[in-house]
Every structure is written in C-alpha cells, then in structure tokens.
Chains A and B, each alone.
Chain A
Amino acid sequence: MNIPESAPSDTDLRSWLRARVAHYVQLDVADIDTTTALTTYGLDSVYALILCGDIEDHLELVLEPTVAWDHPTIDALARHLEETLAQGSPSGESR
C-alpha cells in the first residue's frame, strides 16, 4: 500500500472529516466540534460504518468498517488515520 503522493495534512484531514460528518448529520460544519463524540450529533453506531467507505475512498486506504467505533471523535479518528498513513501498511482487512 503506497501513501498517496500528496497525503493530506492533519488539518486538511480534520476539516474534510468535519465536512463529511456535517453532511451525514445534516448540520453546519461550524456546529461540529472535533473533540465531541460523533454519536452526540446523532451519527449512530451503525450509520458510522458508512463513514469508513468515504474515508477509504478519500485516502485510498482499506480500513475496518468499525474504525469510528474505536476512534469515536473527529480528533481521534484523524489521529488514527494519520498514524495509519504514516505506517504505510494499514492494519485494516484485505479487500
């Protein structure tokens, strides 16, 4: 698994995640705090699985669909994704 050449920076990733979450919960980006649990915004656990598909497409990574269960805020998620990208070999399942 190669790191995409222009791997998005941490802040890019964070704002992208914020925008995705805002889209899914139908709120303004400004209303989404990156340290608050995603479930607070009504992104229920089962629906959070869908976020995985988006992130995979965006970062060209393969992740566990449950990634947002184990990293339940935007900050935690961004940190995890950064680490995964840095390792270059995601711990996710194989396609």
Chain B
Amino acid sequence: MKVTEPLIDTGQVDLAGFDRALGDPADPAALLSFARSAELDRGERFPADICRELDRMGLPSLYVPAEFGGALTRYDELVAALRAVARRDLTVAIGHGKTFLGGVCMWLAGRPEQARELGADIIAGAPVSWGLTERGHGSDLLAGETTATPEPGGGFRVHGEKWLINNATRGTLLCLLVRTRPEGGPRGFSLLLADKRRLPADRWRPLPKVPTHGIRGADISGIALDDCPFPADALIGEQGAGLEIALKALQLTRTACTALSLGAADQAVRLAEEFAARRELYGRRLVELPHVRRVLGEAYAALYAAEIVSVLAARSVHTLPEEMAVISAVAKSYVPTRVDELIAACGELLGARAFLTEVHEHGAFQKLERDHRVVGIFDGSTFVNQHVLINHFPVLARGHQKGTADEEAVGRTADLSAPPPPARLDRLSLLARGGCGFTQSLHTASGELRAPASAGEVPARVAELAEELTNSCDRLHRELALIPPASQDVQPEAFALASRYEQCFAGAAALRLWLHNRTPGEDPLWLEAVLTYVLRSVRPPGQPTDGEVFDRLFDARAAGRPASPPTSVVTW
C-alpha cells in the first residue's frame, strides 16, 4: 500500500491509520508481509524499501520531540508505533527504531539549535545510530577506549572503534560515547555527534556487517576512527557529562525497547492461536485440548502483564520522571523476559511448525523467536537492568517504609482517559530517591477494592488476590532492607529479589490500571488473570496456583467477549 500523506506528522499522530497502512502480514501484498520478511531474512538483506516507506508515513518524526520539530509528544504513542512495526517484523522495527535511540542524548542535553538540526535530518529520513559498545567492552561503559582528545584550537581528535553497533554503516549520523579524560572515570567521558557528511573520508571507515543469529538483515556493524578530527560543535552537552547523559538516555530507550517485545508477543500469540484453531488431530481440533487452552490463556495473561508494564512505564516518563531509573529498569528486565517465556510456550504448542523455516506463514515463528532473543541483550541486558534495580534496594526499602508516594501522579499514569502531561525530561534522575510510587501505593489500591468487593460489584476473589499481592510486596521490602549493600559483588539472591520486585510492580500497575479505568459492571477477568500470573512467581513454595482463571480468559477471548486491559491496541 502506497501512502501519500504522512500519517505521523507534527501535530498529528494517526496510530490507527498507521497500523492499517502497515497491513496484514499474512497478505503477501502488504508492506510488511511474512513472505517478504522471510526472504530478506534468508538473504540477510536490510529491509531498505520498507524503511523508506515507513519514512514516507512519517514514522521518523515520532523519534523527534515536538520542541525540536517532530511529532513526539507522548512516549506511549512511540511505544504503540514501534509495537505495530515489531508485530510484523522485528528486524524492521529494530533497524528503523534505532534512530530514536541515536537521537535521545541530543534531546536530553543538546543545544536547542543543534537538536533542531538533528531533528530535521531525522525527519528527512537520515538514520542515526548510537555507539556505546566496543569490541572489548559491552555493559561496562566506563571501560570504553575510544578516545577524543581536545584540540588546542577547539574540536577533538577521535581514535578508536565502536563495534556491534546497529546501523553504524547505514547511519548518516552516530552519537558516540568517547573518553575525554585519559584516566576515565564518571566525568571522563563525553558524547559526540559524528556527522559522516562532515568528517574527512580518509579518517574513518565502517566495519563489516557482523552475522547474527536473529535480525539477520539488520546492519550490525561498527565504525573505526583514525585520529579523526571532529568540530567543537559535535559535542552533545558538556564535556565530561557523557556517562550521566547516556544513563538518563537509557531510561528512555529501555522503556521504548519494550515495544519490540510486545510486538513479538503479539505475533507469537497470533501464530499459536491460529494454528491451534486449525490443526486437527485425533478427530479434534488442537484448541479443544484442555492444556492447549490453558497455555493460550496463560500467554494472554503474560502478554497483558508485559503490556501494562510497558505502557505505564512510557506514561511514567510524563508523570513520574524522577522514578524512571527504577521504572525503566523494571520494564527492560521484566518485559523481554516474560515475552521470551511466552514465545517458548507458544513454540511448544506449534510443535514442528516452530522449527520449520518455510512452512506456516513462511516460518514466521522461528524468525521472531530468533529475532527477539536480542531484546534482552542490547540496550542493557536483563542482568544489567536488574543490577540497577538492586542498587536501588536501599531507597526502595526506605521509600516503602516511609510511604512517600505521589499517589496523584501514580493515578495520572494509570488513568488512560486523560493524555499525560508534557514530558519533563529535565527531571529524569540517576537516582529514584523516593523509591517507587506504584509499589508504595499498593495498600491504597487494594484498599480501594475492598468496598466494591463487599458490595458484590467485584468478585471477592480479585480483592483477595490484591490483598495477597500487597502483603507479599510488604514482605519483599522487608527483605530488601535486610540484604547487605551491593556495591561490589552482587549476591545471586539479590537477582531473585529483583525478579520478585518486578512481579510486584507489574501487579501493582495492573491493579492501578483497572481502578482508574473501570466501567460499571465490567468483569475484571483480565485483572484476575494478571494478578494470578504475577502472584504465581512470588508465592512461597508449596502454595500452588489454580490456573483455572486462564481457561476462563481463553474462553472469553475465543467467544469474542471483551477481556483485554485498556492498554491493548491490537485489533487483529
């Protein structure tokens, strides 16, 4: 489908139109089709035509905040748009969406005219890449060896390599983290915008494409700089502020990356659902087997939990910016991990069809399974994000005890009927000093369920689950307060506590979402399913979970009854 008018433009973001224009991937004539994606993947070819079409639809303008000339005013819209692309093809979403990651440091710290200039390039379709990683150093950003030496007459001379960088070769511009003090340290790094159009051609070269297990068509490569001169105005923010800016930028990019997982989950669930509905064995259809319905019902609950965390994290950029250090770490750790599990469960249902590369929608499942693996690795691995969370244990425990939550801001995050207030990126902080409002206000939230439950408007079961979650979350915080500080070796037990914390956050977010958007008489089935799903992983051993709610969730969806949380945007 060819689009003439951009669907996403300054002052206008037509997400429904954008989703329609992307088409049904099962239709080989659609812009993003399983057939075309499979072909590109087999040939390890970059989806350049598709990306050009996305440019024409206006997607790049959603990577640029409105104040710098773009259409980005709501981070939940960015998540929805990236999810829509990822639902069809993760390689395209990762290849195209990288430009948002490449721009973020500029939005946070650049001079206004510098940011507007980059915004104009992005809107015109220039890919922007983000180079933190080096061959010898991944997560350990302070170990980076690419060095920028300040020149006497202004500007820098940059030497070194950034490697394993998405779009390093295709990118017209690259935002690079470079060492500006020989001794390094937290004030020893800076950010430079490399504009390939302005750098002397004999002083840099792209590094070869790195073959990968998934997203095989993506441009994963690198750049080598050989004493390359950079102009003084390439500096983003202050000299020495690179680490601080990058860590804040990661709060936004990690939040956005969860959209990739949601898209993968949407597609996995759809492929499994359709297969189960059609496949006949032993004279029955697969979907009639009780365990199959259970697995699918559970997959819906997992998807809802992931979706709620992702969407509310994106809204928190607007409402709870000072908590984003915690919220983004939870989101980036929780969502890809839950979706990896969901994909594995759907894969089991698909049996051989999860393994074949040409059969069943052109082998779409095995492609998405491979493609999604990278989401839990890049932009801060699951461990790295859990480590951020573990560093926050002392403030989480203290905040929970004091109960300093801004309940109104938590409510504004969850209330989808109102657009979120403008994002205050200047209030992002490396330390969520007050802890986290969602988990702190669980008491209030579960309290609000008590009255409708005793009036019979809400099943007593749901109020009991909310109560159990609240108690479990209190218990967890008492444990967080007891564990020794983790400045050096983090004990494995701390990671288990981080996982439990994430589940509590997801449950708290789900509860809030329901409370602030409920309509009279609505069956809170999705809430019951999500709370059950979440509690299953935090219950002490020996307390089994009754999975019957997942069967009811499956039946409701199969019968076409409304059973999705209001964050759901998927219509097919």
Shortest distance between the CB of A53 and any CB in chain B (Å)? 5
Cα(A93)–Cα(B248), bound, Å: 15
A46-B391, A52-B431, A93-B429 known; A69 vs B186 contact (CB < 8 Å): yes
Cα(A47)–Cα(B391), bound, Å: 6
- For B142, B243, B392, B429, the residue with the greatest tally of chain A CB atoms inside 10 Å of its CB is B429
Interface size on A, residues (CB 8 A): 26
Q: Is the CB of B487 within 8 A of A44?
A: yes
A89 contacts B by Cβ under 8 Å: no
Taken residue by residue from 50 to 72, chain A's Cβ proximity to chain B (1 for < 8 Å, 0 otherwise) reads as 10111011000000011001101
Q: Is the CB of A45 within 8 A of B487?
A: no
Q: Is the CB of A45 within 8 A of B142?
A: yes
From B186, B243, B244, B395, contact of A53 by CB (8 A): B395
Taken residue by residue from 475 to 504, chain B's Cβ proximity to chain A (1 for < 8 Å, 0 otherwise) reads as 000000000111110000000000000000
Taken residue by residue from 28 to 55, chain A's Cβ proximity to chain B (1 for < 8 Å, 0 otherwise) reads as 0000000000010011111111101110
Cα(A93)–Cα(B426), bound, Å: 9
Q: Is the CB of A23 within 8 A of B485?
A: yes
Cα(A53)–Cα(B326), bound, Å: 14
Q: Is the CB of B395 within 8 A of A66?
A: no
**What would be 11 A-B contacts, judged by CB atoms less than 8 Å apart?**
A25-B487, A42-B488, A44-B488, A47-B485, A48-B186, A49-B430, A50-B395, A52-B431, A54-B394, A69-B186, A70-B187
Q: Is the CB of A65 within 8 A of B487?
A: no
Chain A residues whose CB sits within 8 angstroms of the CB of B427 once the complex forms: 93
Q: Is the CB of B185 within 8 A of A24?
A: no
Taken residue by residue from 303 to 326, chain B's Cβ proximity to chain A (1 for < 8 Å, 0 otherwise) reads as 000000000000000000010000
Cα(A26)–Cα(B485), bound, Å: 8
Chain B residues whose CB sits within 8 angstroms of the CB of A46 once the complex forms: 247, 388, 391
B398 contacts A by Cβ under 8 Å: yes
Q: Is the CB of B488 within 8 A of A66?
A: no
Which residues of B are interface residues toward A (Cβ below 8 A)?
142, 185-187, 243-244, 247, 322, 388, 391-392, 394-395, 398, 427, 429-431, 433, 484-488
Which residues of A are interface residues toward B (Cβ below 8 A)?
23-26, 39, 42-50, 52-54, 56-57, 65-66, 69-70, 72, 93, 95
Q: Is the CB of B186 within 8 A of A42?
A: no
Shortest distance between the CB of B8 and any CB in chain A (Å)? 33
Chain A residues whose CB sits within 8 angstroms of the CB of B244 once the complex forms: 66, 69
Chain A residues whose CB sits within 8 angstroms of the CB of B187 once the complex forms: 69-70
Shortest distance between the CB of A23 and any CB in chain B (Å)? 6
Cα(A44)–Cα(B322), bound, Å: 22
Q: What residue in chain B is nearest A39 (Cβ atoms)? A: B185
Cα(A48)–Cα(B243), bound, Å: 14
A23-B485, A47-B486, A50-B395 known; A65 vs B243 contact (CB < 8 Å): no
Q: Is the CB of A65 within 8 A of B484?
A: no
From B247, B394, B398, B487, contact of A42 by CB (8 A): B487
Given contacts A42-B488, A50-B392, A52-B431, list 18 more A-B pairs with CB under 8 A. Answer: A24-B485, A26-B487, A42-B487, A44-B488, A45-B186, A45-B243, A47-B486, A49-B431, A50-B395, A50-B431, A53-B395, A53-B433, A65-B433, A69-B187, A69-B244, A93-B427, A93-B429, A95-B322
Cα(A69)–Cα(B322), bound, Å: 19
Chain A residues whose CB sits within 8 angstroms of the CB of B433 once the complex forms: 52-53, 56, 65, 95
Q: Is the CB of A24 within 8 A of B431?
A: no
Q: Is the CB of A66 within 8 A of B391?
A: no
